[in-house]
Structure 1
Amino acid sequence: MSPRSPSVNEELRRRSRERLLQATVELVGERGYEATTLGDIADRAGSARGLVSYYFPGKRQLLQSAVHRLMHRTLESALLEEPHTDSGPEVLARAIDAVLGLAADRPLLMRTHMSGVLQADGFVQCPEQQRLAALLRCAVERYGSHQVDVDYPILRALLMGAVFAMVLPGAPMPLPWLRAELFQRYGLAWELGVPPGGEPPGGTPS
């Protein structure tokens, strides 16, 4: 049997890494961070346990990469959803709704992620985070920003603050309230994106 080509090996490594990332969001979402071990993740992914350490320096970094991948894929799907749009406000509305929707659908996972970001190691600069950042920057640019390097970090901070408010134990804020605040800030009509059911806070669209 001839040896595999470099491109085949690279594809196998990519798939192995993807399986680990997917297993991480599944297990942490089901059990929580402390109850999930690296061995559990490797077993769920069908990978050798040594591969986890090969790709990631630790569980916290693995989780951040896994959540950033989930956010990137969710945001990408929202932006590509039919009907296709070139409207800047619609693109930004879809981006906001995609991120807030994750906090609503996966509160344990997103709470654990936010907790990790606040740890001493801070924000992990990984390929998944860079892909997520590129999509958010693109949404800001398509919205019409003339200073993307300023407006993108502001949007990122506002979304992180909204997610934190939604998953705060004991005092979570409702998604419609936070969505209304963000939409008002950017002058977005309530019916853009994927509005939650019912009337917007205040009873009338922005």
Structure 2
Amino acid sequence: MARWQPGARERLVLAAVDLFADQGYDATTVAQIADRAGVTKSTFFRYFPDKRELLVAGQETLSLLLSEGIAAAPDGASPLEAVASGLERASSTMGPMNRELGPRLKAAIAASTELQERDALKTVGLATAMTDALITRGVPDPLAHLAAELGVLAFKRGYAEWTELEHDEHGLAPHALKALEELKAATAALS
């Protein structure tokens, strides 16, 4: 097996998602994932402690990018403007692999309760990172939580829309920002 070829981590994620969708999470083994990705089991374990962690691959990086974007928002930006800055920063790093992975990941998650739980934990982690970044900016706690939750929802809605397009010329950012604007407008109807 070609352990030395670049992109092993990405190949492992793609292989796992495909196998989870095809044969179910429980029926998929680490050996099958490694084999499909063209790497050894030991290479798998260099990147992931177990197969559950494949779903949250990149979560730390995504959380960091969202937080950095929020921190970089101009002084005086509203909480949602800061969240938009975070969404733009994180979305700008999403490329073709992320877009290709979307429908496959959705199918794999839908087929497994355990993966649904991991996905929910990932969502909580992203919201926590955004909340913390907003609080650091001086946004009061309840408002920071609400803005962060809207940001996570906007990211997920934008990502879903982006991955369903036949062709993409603009990337994820416009979809995530549009979703945030729609959610912002919808909150006005709550009062």
Using the size of structure 2 for normalisation, the TM-score is 0.54
Equivalences for residues 40-79 of structure 1 within 5 A: 43=39, 48=42, 51=45, 55-56=49-50, 58=51, 61-79=52-70
Give RMSD over aligned pairs. 4.6
Partner of 1:156: 152
Change (3 A) 1:147 1:31: same
Q: 1:108 aligns with which of 100, 105, 114?
A: 100
- Per the TM alignment, residue 145 of structure 1 is displaced from its structure 2 partner at its CA by 6.4
**Match for 2:112: what amino acid?**
A
State how many pairs are aligned. Answer: 159
- Per the TM alignment, residue 55 of structure 1 is displaced from its structure 2 partner at its CA by 2.0
Change (3 A) 1:114 1:151: farther
Q: Is the 8 A contact 2:64 2:129 kept in 1?
A: no
Name which one, 1 or 2, has greater alpha-carbon Rg: 1
Q: Is the 8 A contact 2:158 2:178 kept in 1?
A: no
Once the two structures are aligned, what percentage of the paired residues are identical? 9
* CA distance in 2: counterparts of 1:171 and 1:184, whole angstroms: 23
Q: Is 1:27 paired with 2:11?
A: yes
Partner of 1:132: 126
Q: 2:87 aligns with which of 93, 96, 103?
A: 96
Which deviates more, 89-98 or 123-132? 123-132
Q: Does the residue aligned with 2:92 lie in a helix, a strand or coil?
A: helix
**Match for 1:74: what amino acid?**
L
- Per the TM alignment, residue 32 of structure 1 is displaced from its structure 2 partner at its CA by 8.3
- Per the TM alignment, residue 124 of structure 1 is displaced from its structure 2 partner at its CA by 0.6
Residue deviations 1:7-45, cap 9 Å, x none?
xxxxxxxxxxxxxxx843x2257778438823466948x
Q: Is the 8 A contact 1:103 1:110 kept in 2?
A: no
Q: Is 1:146 paired with 2:142?
A: yes
What 5-or-longer segments of structure 2 have no aligned partner? 1-6, 20-31, 186-191
* CA distance in 1: counterparts of 2:141 and 2:130, whole angstroms: 12
**Match for 1:120: what amino acid?**
S
**Match for 2:99: what amino acid?**
P
